[in-house]
Amino acid sequence: MSEPVKIRQGEDAGAAKMERQANTSEATGSAAPAAIPAAKSKRSRVRGLLFAALPIALVVGGYYYVTGGQLVTVDNAYVQARIAGVSTDVGGTIKSIEVHDNEKVTAGQVLYKLDPASYQIALDGAKAKVDAARNDLLTLKATYAQDQAQIVQAQADLPFFEDAYARAQKLVSSATASKATLDQASHDLESAKQKVDVAKAEAAATLAKLNGNVDLPLEQFPEYMQAQAAVEDAQRQLDHTTVKAPFDGVATNVNAIQIGSYLQPAQTAFSLVSTKDMWIEANPKETELTYVKPGQPVTISIDAYPGVTWKGEVASVSPASASSFSLLPAQNSSGNWVKVVQRIPMRVAVKAEDGKPQLRAGMSTEVDIDTNHARGLPQFVEDLLGRSTAYAHE
């Protein structure tokens, strides 16, 4: 009895399922044929737009390719600054240090001082020699005046001895006087003449020391000039015991010196990095320098300051690659030669702009050089155009 009941229940379930499917088919049968053409039409429109946009995209992309390429970007670039090792040409013990490490200083500001005692003593001694030279000049002028007086006196005595010699000659000829009297008169006359010559020679020597001018000014006197030069050199050395900043910058590594330590002449005490004389040292590849020339505008980006740019221009391009200045340059004539793209140093001047962050030597940068030279058509296209033009002329 149980089996017929199960069969009837299965038949009822199948009939119900078939009825539902029939109802569903009747409900959607009219909508399906209408949805299929709409979907096909939408896909056709999208496909048509894509096919229409493809040549436009190719034309726009080709235009930007041909007219682009004016900017040359170099990321192998770093900030450089004028760096001077602060030193002086005199030696001495450090007496005081007037600045601190990483302190900004201005040109002429005192950085450190050496003990000036020994140089002050040398200056005082040099000044004393100037006074001595002044006295020497006055002495020479007095000596020259004395020599002139001796010349006058010797010349005044000369006629007397000439007359005495003449009288002796007459007396000897008349046998009134002896031959010895004549000899003595002759000797006295020669002595008088020699005194005149000696006085003139002494006066000439004194005048030579006066540079041939008895009214020689003190400033033209050789000994005075020499002594004055020694004073100036001693004063210079004394002044150089106070070391001042040669330009505006930042003092760095000041802790390398200490008060009481001794510095040799020209020994570097610490360094001074300029805050104004700064530039960019870029190292573009040689293949990037085709159209780069001095004077072209440059946009500078500093890695430390994202979003901030500086303006500049190409100042100069090195006449040789960086490897040309190495201690052991590459020997390209060797058998194991591999071609390597070289880098050519280039200097970029940075234009000063107020309100910009502080540039520091060694910072990494990226420079964009506007060469104002478009990329142009590819070479094979130019070759084709050139050949077609040639064929047209033929």
pLDDT band at 377 (very low <50, low <70, confident <90, very high): low
The segment with the largest mean pLDDT, out of 31-35, 58-62, 364-368, is 364-368
Between 223 and 2, where is the model more confident? 223
Please report, rounded to a whole number, the percentage of residues in the chain having pLDDT higher than 90.
Answer: 43
Q: Is the pLDDT of residue 93 over 50?
A: yes
Task: Dump the DSSP string for 225-291.
Answer: HHHHHHHHHHHHHHHTTEEE-SSSEEEE-GGG--TT-EE-TT---EEEEEEEEEEEEE--BGGG-SS
Mean pLDDT to the nearest integer, 118-130: 95
Q: Average of pLDDT values for 228-242?
A: 96
Which residue, among 346, 291, 349, 354, has the nearest Cα to 320 in the 3D structure? 346
**Least confident interval from 85-99, 108-122, 319-333:** 319-333
Q: Per-residue pLDDT tens for 249-260?
A: 999 999 999 999
Q: What percentage of the chain carries pLDDT values higher than 70?
A: 79
The contacts of residue 317 (CB under 8 Å, 6+ apart) are: 289, 292, 293, 294, 344, 345, 346, 347
Tokens describing residue 163: 């007359």
Q: Mean pLDDT check: name the lowest of 82-96, 236-250, 337-351.
A: 337-351
Identical topology for domains 71-82+276-324+341-393 and 83-116+237-270: no
pLDDT of the residue at 247: 94
Output the furthest CA–CA distance in the chain (Å, rounded): 215
CATH 2.40.50.100 fits 83-116+237-270, yes or no: yes
Look up residue 218 and give its DSSP letter.
Answer: G
pLDDT of 195:
80
Asked if residues 278 and 80 have their Cβ atoms less than 8 Å apart, the reply is yes
Q: What's the rounded mean pLDDT across residues 28-48?
A: 63
Helix axes 179-209 and 117-173, enclosed angle (nearest 10)? 160
- What mean pLDDT is reported for the chain? 82
Listed residue (80, 127, 88) closest to 110, CA to CA: 88
**75 three-class SS:** strand
Neighbouring-strand partners of residue 94: 114
> So what's the pLDDT on residue 28?
46
Catalogue the E-assigned strands of the chain. Answer: 71-86, 92-97, 103-105, 110-114, 242-244, 249-252, 262-263, 270-282, 297-302, 309-317, 346-350, 364-370
- 71-82+276-324+341-393: CATH topology: Elongation Factor Tu (Ef-tu); domain 3 (2.40.30)
pLDDT tier for residue 332 given thresholds of 50, 70 and 90: low
- pLDDT reported for residue 254: 95
Give residue-wise pLDDT tens across range 157-182.
778 877 777 777 777 777 676 778 77
How much is the pLDDT for 9?
46
- The answer to whether the beta carbons of residues 234 and 254 sit under 8 Å apart is no
CA dihedral 101→104→105→110, nearest 10 degrees, is: -20
Mean of the pLDDT values across residues 35-49? 71
- Number of H helices and E strands in the chain, helices first, is 6, 12
pLDDT-based confidence at residue 122 (cuts at 50, 70, 90): very high
CA distance 13 to 382: 80
The number of angstroms, rounded, from the C-alpha of 76 to the middle of its chain's C-alpha atoms is 21
pLDDT at 30 over 70: no
More confident residue, 109 or 47: 109
Q: 49-53, 118-122, 379-383 — which is least confidently predicted?
A: 379-383
* pLDDT (0 to 100) of residue 367: 95
Residue with tokens 């930042």: 250
Angle made by CA atoms 146, 151, 157, in degrees to the nearest 5: 125
pLDDT of 345 above 60: yes
Would you place residue 211 in the very low, low, confident or very high pLDDT band (cuts 50, 70, 90)? Answer: confident
- 241 within 8 A of 92, measured Cβ to Cβ: yes
Domain residue limits, the chain: 71-82+276-324+341-393, 83-116+237-270, 118-216
Is the pLDDT higher at 200 or at 238?
238
Distance CA 173, CA 292 (A): 112
Statement: residue 233 has pLDDT above 90: yes
84-98, 130-144, 152-166, 218-232, range with the lowest pLDDT: 152-166
Rounded to an integer, the average pLDDT of 278-303 is: 94
193-210 pLDDT, tens digit each: 888 888 888 888 888 888
